[in-house]
Chain A
Amino acid sequence: MSESITPLRALTLFAVVTVFSPAARSQEPVSFRTDVLPILEERCFDCHQATRTDARGRTKKHKGGLRLDGNAWILRGGDGGDVVVAGKPDDSPLLTRAELDEDDPDHMPDRGDPLTVAQLEVIRRWIASGASFGDWTGAPLDASAASVPVAQAGATVPAGARAARLLALADGLAPLSEAERKALGEAGAHVEDLLGDRRLFRIGFPGRQASIDDAALRVLDRVKEHVVELDLARTPIDDSALDSLARLPRLSRLDLSDTRISAAGLRKLTRAASLRTLVLVGTTLHEDAVGVLAGMPHLETVHLWRSGLGDGELAALRDASPQLRVVGPPSLPPPEAPSAGRDGPRRRR
């Protein structure tokens, strides 16, 4: 709440908006200027208007890349994308975030009381009826609008989700020493530094898979705090290797494609504390693997194309574990009709 609004004034505004606003009382059309704008001014502008200097001389920049003090700014959205989707109140974060539980970290407004039921209803009806601004324009876009250029249609992942997860994994972890890093290279590992600061690594053995056995994997014990992604596809390992892998505390992603692992081996991975993604393409699993996979506590995605599990088993896994993303065979374009003849020049032979 800005310094200039006294409690009495806030109360008055509140009363005007909730009690006297015609739109709140009836099903008459909502006017942006008389019904919605006062709510935004009172509860949102403090954090979401042009960069300014406050009463104590501090520079206040709009939060989340979002300004609400002009119609073009509202339509532009913030760092997270659109805030208002005309006609779709439930897809409009301006409303949905205000409706969140007060304890939710994404709840808006960030400070003060939640919006009243009447205020939420006004916003809902305004968006549902097409989110027209009428004759109101407010502050025009300026050069800073171009600096965060995002128009998001239906982002599947919020910006920074992966970043947040990796940084949480790395929290409190010291960088890997040069000697240990060297040992990895000498053991034939290809190492990618996921944060660029020697804390978290993706490890694989491209070109050397054939020589990777349990003994070769012992090199991982020396760096076990740092292994986040591990690619053992096409190596001759079997279930016996999985004991040591289950002890890698930050192992989040494991690729065991084209290996001889079985459900018995996978069961050992139930102990892997951070395992989120498991790639099991080209394996020879049986139906007993379904229960094992369903029982992995943190697993989010499992790739099971050509894993020996049929459609029925994949469906059973989806039922047993609705949260789990079960990736089966790819949905490929169907073969071309023989007469189509449009896919470019035919092969000569």
Chain B
Amino acid sequence: MTRSKDLASHLDEPTRRAFLSRIAAGCLGVTTMPWLCGAASAATAAGTLRRGSASRVIYLFMSGGMSHLDSFDPKAPGSDVMGPTEVLATNVDGIRVGQHFAHLARQMDKVAVLNSLWSNQGAHAQGRYYMHTGYTLRGTIRHPSLGAWTSKLLGPANPTLPAHVSVGDNDVYGPSGGFFESRHFPLPVGDPEDGLRNARLPRTVTEERFHDRLEKLAAMDRAFQERFQAEKAVHAYAEAYEQAVQLMRSRDLAAFDLDSEDAALRDAYGRNDFGQGVLLARRLVEHGVRFVEVNSGGWDTHNENFETLEDRIPPVDRALAALLADLDARGMLEDTLVVLTTEFGRTPEITRDRNGRNHHAKAFSSLLAGGGIRGGVVHGRTDERGDEIVEGKVRVTDFNATIAHALGIPIDFVLHSPSGRPFKVADDGQPVLSLFA
């Protein structure tokens, strides 16, 4: 029972017991996880597997709400909903993109466009939180984001590196461990060019002195640890130390160092925070980090939508185009899922006074590539104004379930919050199976 073993070894003891007993029940034909039980269930239906081929995820988040009309769901150029935005043909017949995606236009054969995302959260914090966690924001609980679920249920691929990393300015509504243990929270990297800060010993501290210090720390903590050994928080504290030391000693610390990348490649990704962040993400997944989120801010285009996008899109266009070409050349596209998403779209109406677009949650766009996703595909459709979805609605939870499916995270698996409430990786979402090869 490989899969269950994998999962079970990363769960806490009570959860693990519950988990294993559920599998036992499942194999007797009673309950929810038939794919853990044997060969007969490898496929759900002809041609559809239980999972995609992703082992890792690069998740690019356009914070503020990316206009779908000016990016991946453009309408007739010159129509009133398009304003001055022109439309580009791509290397796939029938797929068109907004004018500032000139580099990505040449990589669309690797990309699946989803033009029918639907959310019911039209405010930034709420929308961002919903997209990341699949649950709506409320006062009594913090839910884990997709990266935390990946860390918790699949664990690290490289045991000396964290499973979950966040690059750029992410706030509390972005990637988070939620109610999971501290090790599932993302390791934050603020500035990709600085890499991991404080990960090397100061020159004055030798390896022996450091070892000595750790021993003293352990000695001082021992009585406290023993007395409160049932306390999760106490464990988490000690664990954080252990992980930090492990990371400091990892051979793979070089993963965080962009200086080892070829200068021409660094130029291709774009010499800016986002471009270098995306390049860092590629290095990290290459070294066995499971889930890396890179944040791009400034997409809240209430004012001067078109001028703002002229600045916002090019770094993203460049970095994503470089990433897809780079991953493909390295043979990494098969097992790396690339996601580009946002909290909601923007209105087809262009405001007269501010030349902007307002929030639009009932129809927006995202991209998926790699990880067993078919390229050159468009899923779903909006009406001729980009206002309402007319075909293939994908709820936020369905989108997250699709990501989980790509990774092989079981979408029906339940974990309980400290207060005993049941949660799943994508709530009740269902993966869009037609996107998979």
Q: A residues bordering B, Cβ < 8 Å?
A: 76, 79, 145-146, 148-164, 166-167, 170, 173-176, 178, 181, 190-199, 202, 204, 206-207, 210, 229, 253, 255, 257, 277, 279, 281, 301, 303, 305, 327-336, 342-347
Contacts and interface: CB of A to CB of B under 8 A. Distances in A.
A253 B233 CA distance: 43
List 3 A-B pairs, minimum CB-CB distance, nearest first: A149-B392, A160-B47, A206-B288
Interface in B324-356: 325-326, 328-331, 334-335
Contact of B381 (A151, A174, A175, A193): A151
Given A167-B49, A207-B251, A257-B331, 15 more contacts: A149-B432, A150-B392, A151-B378, A151-B380, A153-B376, A155-B376, A158-B437, A196-B50, A197-B41, A277-B331, A328-B329, A330-B325, A335-B267, A336-B318, A343-B271
Interface stretch (B24-32, B90-98, B202-210, B220-228): B90-98
A232 B399 CA distance: 33
Contacts of A197: 3, 35, 38-39, 41-42, 50
Contacts of B46: 160
A330 B335 CA distance: 18
Give the residue among B36, B93, B329 with the most A Cβ atoms within 10 A.
B329
Interface string B276-313: 00000000000110000000000000000000001110
Contacts of B393: 146, 149
B18 interface: no
Contacts of A178: 1-2, 5
A271 to B, nearest CB: 22
Interface stretch (B63-71, B78-86, B153-161): B153-161
Contact of B325 (A202, A229, A331): A331
A146 B160 CA distance: 46
A137 B103 CA distance: 41
B315 A343 contact: yes
B265 interface: yes
Contacts of A193: 2-3, 6, 408
Contact of A154 (B42, B109, B335): B109
Contacts of A279: 330-331
B51 interface: yes
5 contacts: A154-B92, A154-B94, A192-B55, A197-B39, A198-B3
Contacts of A199: 39, 42
B391 A151 contact: yes
B259 to A, nearest CB: 14
Give the residue among A156, A277, A279 with the most B Cβ atoms within 10 A.
A156
A344 B436 contact: no
B149 interface: no
Q: Contact size class for B? A: 35 or more
B157 A163 contact: no
A151 B94 CA distance: 10
A210 B47 contact: no
Nearest to A303: B331
A221 B53 CA distance: 24
Contacts of B434: 79, 148-150, 159
Contacts of B391: 76, 145-146, 149, 151
A18 B182 CA distance: 73
A32 B321 CA distance: 43
B221 to A, nearest CB: 27
B211 interface: no
Secondary structure class of chain A's binding surface, majority of residues: loop
Contact of B311 (A148, A154, A336, A344): A344
A327 B161 CA distance: 30
A329 B329 contact: yes
Given A149-B116, A190-B288, A167 B268 contact: no
A333 B272 contact: no
Contact of A181 (B5, B270, B311, B329): B5
Nearest to B268: A332
B253 to A, nearest CB: 11
B250 interface: yes
A85 B158 CA distance: 47
A336 B94 CA distance: 28
Contacts of B275: 343-344
Give the residue among B5, B51, B330 with the most A Cβ atoms within 10 A.
B330
B267 A336 contact: yes
Nearest to B91: A154
A339 to B, nearest CB: 14
Give the residue among B39, B274, B435 with the most A Cβ atoms within 10 A.
B39
Contacts of A173: 39
Contacts of A192: 55, 335, 408
B50 A305 contact: no
A177 B250 CA distance: 32
Nearest to B410: A196
A26 to B, nearest CB: 32
A343 B266 CA distance: 13
A344 to B, nearest CB: 4
Contact of A152 (B160, B250, B372, B378): B378
A345 B312 CA distance: 10
B120 to A, nearest CB: 18
A299 to B, nearest CB: 13
A196 B376 contact: no
Contact of B330 (A157, A159, A281): A281
Contacts of B106: 331
Contacts of A277: 331, 334
Given A163-B47, A347-B193, A330 B328 contact: yes
Nearest to A80: B434
A204 B56 CA distance: 13
B48 interface: yes
Contacts of A331: 106, 325
B385 interface: no
A62 to B, nearest CB: 15
B411 interface: no
Contacts of A257: 330-331
Interface in B406-432: 408, 432
Interface string B218-261: 00000000000000000000000000000000111000000000
B42 A335 contact: no
A174 B38 CA distance: 9
B43 interface: yes
Contacts of B43: 163, 167, 195
B377 interface: yes
